[in-house]
Copies of this chain bind each other. A is one copy, B any other.
């Protein structure tokens, strides 16, 4: 099962870039991770078309403040079920500054909020990657390395 993380806009803040690299490296031990952040922010309409097209055929999780809140345990048990169901790819879609269109939310299998707070875009990417790392260590029965 592959993870696609599709995000509009490259991390520009130094600490966020470092955080993304930290968890990308850690996750490399567990999973196949395809992190794409090479699209420029072209407005929510165009961004959403790009994200839907790039995630064609994957199970789609859109990150959106208005989405459901999942606990780590709920996320982990879903990931485990998807794996057992033989799912090939999970795509996580992170929009640009203005978020996703309604069409993208409708086209997603799940719409999930990382927090009720509005998080800075690049920080959201770090939070997401840390969470996937946490879920993978749980599912592999390994201790979480701080």
Contact = CB atoms under 8 A, between A and B. Distances in A.
Contact of A119 (B21, B120, B130): B130
Looking at chain A, what size class is its interface with the partner chain?
Answer: 20 to 34
In this complex, which of A69, A114, A116, A123 has the most chain B Cβ atoms within 10 angstroms of its Cβ?
A116
A115 interface: yes
Given A14-B18, A18-B15, A126-B15, A117 B114 contact: yes
Protomer copies:
2
Contact of A12 (B18, B119, B123, B146): B146
17 contacts: A12-B146, A13-B22, A14-B22, A15-B18, A65-B71, A69-B115, A69-B116, A72-B118, A114-B117, A115-B115, A117-B127, A118-B134, A119-B127, A119-B131, A120-B130, A123-B127, A126-B126
Interface of A: 12-16, 18-19, 21-22, 65, 69-72, 75, 114-123, 126-127, 130-131, 134, 146
